[in-house]
Chain A
Amino acid sequence: MDTLLLARLQFATTTSFHFLFVTLSLGLVVFVAGMQTAYAVSGKAVYARMTKFWGTLYVINYALGIVTGLVMEFQFGLNWGGLSEVAGNVFGAPLALETLIAFFVEATFLGMWIFGWNRLPKWIHLALIWLVAVAAYASALWVLAANAFLQNPVGHEMRDGRAYLTDFGALLRNDSLTDSLPHVVSAALLAGGLFVAGISAWHFIRRTDEVEVFRRSLRWGVVAAPVGAFSIIHFGFLQEVAIERYQPMKLAVIYQEPARLEAARQLMLQRFGPGDFAPPSWIAILYQIMMNGAFVLALATLACLVLLFRNWLIRLRVPLYALVVMLPVPFILMITGWLVREVGRQPWAVYGLLTTEQAVSDVPPGLVLASYVGFTLVLGLLVVLDYWLIATYARRGPRHTLFGTTLAEPARDRLTAY
């Protein structure tokens, strides 16, 4: 195995782990903030219970989002030296802003939110979770802006083989960003919606006595999911315009039509000279899985939305099982989508400027292999443990909460009074 392949595998693995958790964080934080707002405005205890229950799952999920993100951030320096050498002036800027403007705020306020239960004034505590939510989305914006630069490098000029920033605004108006950001945000909404709906459905299947909490949660999830699903499809197809314009070969490989492939090959020959500029053809399969999966989810979630009428969703019971089955699907589709986007950029690290072969650091393959095995084993184990914890807390229901317990109470988590 060579360094390039190992470094790519390592990045793909870490990033996939990371996106599993941040997608849910992005989706779930909106529900938690919305529920806490409903509580603050209406004063109804059921909303407080909902906030704490979903908030618990949100923070357990959050832990892995952080640690996988750390490994990702520092991997650029470890494995992709050529990227900072050539494009660091431009690519580093949105990453720096992500840490300073978004993540710094998000983490600081999340810590305050977690430890501020029953301690900070109600409205300030509510403001904290909204600040966390806004910062999380700002974070997504900066990270996607950096990624969009790799897909379609704009706002720079090349001097002596290095990219120099000329127009920062262009990074934010990048055609590769404007439709992919809402696409990713919709995916988060869908994943969050189906997570909330799926777990609520599971509790109804088990004839929960927490009817009020899960009836409302189910409603929130089932309303959000189709909005996310249709919006994903909309912004997914809109992206093809930019892909066709800037990465014709990627689109040709996705569609696997001979005429299109030949035309793209000619274009590549004109632009880059002789060479193989086609990404591997298996991304076409992933693309089909993603697209058809999104169609199925859109129709199924729409059907669930209709069944909310007169509570048929719960009375019929079959849709409840369907909702449970659908819970993991958005995560699978999200990973296939990212693989299409990222592997579809091959052989480029920065499209048209720098190949992955040029971007990878000159590190002995043995070292990269060792770190790949180490990170994958450790993070993989932690992913499993974290999902197991999430499942445990999801199963226990809202009677157990992590929030607002004090030291004086026994070490076990408190059974809440309301």
Chain B
Amino acid sequence: MDLVWAVLLGLLFCGYFMVDGFDIGTGLLLRRVGRTEGERRALLTAIGPFFLGNEVWLVAVGGVLAGAFPLVEDRAQGGMYPLVVVGLLAWVLRDVSVWFRSRRASLGWRAGWDRMLVVTSAAFAAFWGLFTGAALAGLPPAGTTAGAARLAGPYPLLWAVALVALFAAHGAVFLAARLSGDLVKRAEATAVRLLRPAAGLLALAVSAGAVLVLPKRWEVLLPAVLIGGLGAAALWAASAAVRRGRHGRALTLTSLAAASPVAVLLIRLAWDLPDAAADDATLSTLGGFALVALPLLAAAQAWMWWAFRRRVDAGTVVFF
């Protein structure tokens, strides 16, 4: 039972990095790929229909933690208190930037929120990097701020840079796949410029982790290095796919790469998870609901993707 819930948690968390990853990336690149007001609106429209449906993956991660792993919730959040607070603030401000910016016609208002979106998306990506880097050394005990001390080192910072690059590259590939006209060319160029450095940074972060912080046990090191390496390779391969105009394939590759840091993290934490799981009675009750709900949720998300599969063009409905 623990295992089923750990896998579910892993899927939701990996899924979150895949889907919100390109929202974060689009936010990061908003002012670079989008030069004019109309172009920036097109970029926001590209993520628009998915924006709400993407971030709920993280809300679901929080829910599964609360329900099935109450003690991990405590340690992952309470143990890294200042970091989580800053991450939450970045998330909140990122969201309202998207919601508020087009609500007034004033160009000053819009430019202000655009800048806010770029900054908070970068901060949010960096937060995930710092969190990953710090948590790879193991979750700090609950009720302490030990996790905060770990953030200062160069290793979490390396992860922060790696994830900013990774999400930006993922976002650029998503934009190349979703937009049309000149914007595709610009998104492609940005993606090509970002993908290989991102691959290098990811490979560096994972291998530094293997040397510096991961426990020296082959059952952790081997899968962690393998998955991290595959993630980096996927980014590298995506670069070639973008050059050949194969946007769908490139997006699949960068999505897998975006999920890889979470996979590495979960492999590391798997050793702590079973002790922190809720009681079997709770897990099986939740499991009954999940059995019914999860296929429906998957169907709802699939429907969303199918309904908005067309590229963004002049006739696309805008909102954000």
Contacts and interface: CB of A to CB of B under 8 A. Distances in A.
Interface string A364-383: 10010011001100110010
Interface residues of B, number: 76
A393 to B, nearest CB: 8
Given A73-B62, A407-B38, A105 B300 contact: yes
Contacts of A119: 317
A403 B319 contact: yes
Interface string A387-418: 00100110000000011111110011100000
Contacts of A95: 63, 66-67
B297 interface: yes
A92 B70 contact: yes
A74 interface: yes
Interface string B292-303: 011011001101
Nearest to B84: A78
A239 interface: no
Nearest to A368: B81
B266 interface: no
A361 B142 contact: yes
B48 interface: yes
Interface of B: 37-38, 41-42, 45, 48-53, 55-56, 59-60, 62-68, 70-71, 73-74, 76-78, 81-82, 84-85, 88-89, 91-93, 95-96, 99-100, 102-105, 142-145, 278-279, 281-282, 285-286, 289-290, 293-294, 296-297, 300-301, 303-304, 307-308, 312-319
Given A89-B70, A101-B289, 10 more contacts: A73-B66, A76-B66, A77-B76, A89-B278, A92-B73, A105-B300, A112-B308, A115-B48, A392-B103, A406-B316
A73 B95 contact: no
Interface in A73-132: 73-74, 76-79, 81, 84-85, 88-93, 95-101, 103-105, 107-112, 114-120
A379 B92 contact: yes
Interface of A: 59-60, 63-64, 66-67, 70-71, 73-74, 76-79, 81, 84-85, 88-93, 95-101, 103-105, 107-112, 114-120, 164-166, 168, 361-364, 367, 370-371, 374-375, 378-379, 382, 385-386, 389, 392-393, 402-408, 411-413
Nearest to B301: A108
A411 B88 CA distance: 31
B144 A362 contact: yes
Given A89-B279, A362-B143, A101 B93 contact: no
A88 B71 contact: yes
A54 B77 CA distance: 38
Nearest to A367: B81
A371 B83 CA distance: 10
Contacts of A97: 63, 67, 286, 289
7 contacts: A70-B95, A73-B62, A74-B77, A85-B71, A95-B66, A100-B60, A385-B96
7 shortest interchain CB distances as A-B pairs: A96-B67, A88-B70, A99-B63, A77-B77, A408-B314, A84-B70, A362-B143
B70 A114 contact: no
Contacts, number: 248
B99 A408 contact: no
Nearest to A71: B88
A60 B103 contact: yes
Contacts of B281: 89, 164-166
Contacts of A408: 314-315
Interface centre among A63, A92, A101, A404 (most CB of B within 10 A): A92
Contact of B73 (A64, A70, A77, A364): A77
Interface centre among A88, A96, A370 (most CB of B within 10 A): A96
A183 B104 CA distance: 37
Contacts of B81: 78, 363, 367, 371
